Amino acid sequence: MTDVVEELEKAWKSHVKGVEALRTSLDKIRSATKDFSDMLDYIGYSMYRGKLPHSKGHIDVIVKRLDPIVGSYGHKFCEDIVILHKCSHKNVIPLLGFCEEERERERERIVLFEHMVNGSLKDHVKTTSLTWKRRLQICVDVARGLEYIHGEVDTRHEIHGGIKSSSILLNHDWKLLFLISSYLKV
């Protein structure tokens, strides 16, 4: 009975917070990632590249798929999705969608973000592709992103703890976008 109550609470929270519009089916994600064939990385979760249908064609996405073996995550996943949905800042990558579905006795938990074409800061920090002026601007943008995350987002007073060059992503204009899905243990 407790599981039923927890599921109802999650559904209610999700609906009330306006997050439900971002729910994406597992079948749609499988199609976008060609059945999870293009894995980029694995760090307690799998990261895949994909293309999602969009009103203006397709959008390149990064799919972060939780490893069901790592843990159950329970209602924390929904709470973290609500936090990510609330985030609106020029230096934070917005949440494009999420999936939470039961399949073959395992619960799939997935989040979707826009793919940043210039990759992570880690890809460029030891090259000459970043001028010193651009590097300083990235430092300022990281500070602004952290100030937003720690000061304006309802994060239950958690500390990000995942600040590293691989979680600092750069878009097509070399503008920093901060991946804060580290709150999600996804």
- Give the domain range for residue 60: 2-183
| Residues 74, 37: Cα–Cα separation, whole Å | 27
Residue 185: per-residue pLDDT = 44
Asked if 120 and 176 touch (Cβ cutoff 8 Å), the reply is no
Q: Which residue has the tokens 């990064």?
A: 62
Q: In what order do the strands lie in the sheet with 57-66?
A: 39-42, 45-54, 57-66, 106-114, 95-103
Which structure tokens are listed for 23? 């729910």
Q: How far is CA 53 from CA 24, 26, 28, in A?
A: 11, 14, 9
CATH of the domain at 100: 1.10.510.10
3-state secondary structure of 6: helix
The whole-model pTM stands at 0.75
- The structural domain count of the chain equals 1
Q: pLDDT by residue for the chain (186 residues), tens digit each? A: 666 667 766 666 555 457 788 888 999 999 999 999 888 876 667 888 899 887 778 888 988 888 766 555 666 777 778 778 877 888 888 888 999 888 777 788 899 988 888 888 888 888 888 889 988 998 898 888 888 877 766 555 455 566 778 778 888 888 877 665 544 443
Residue 35: per-residue pLDDT = 92
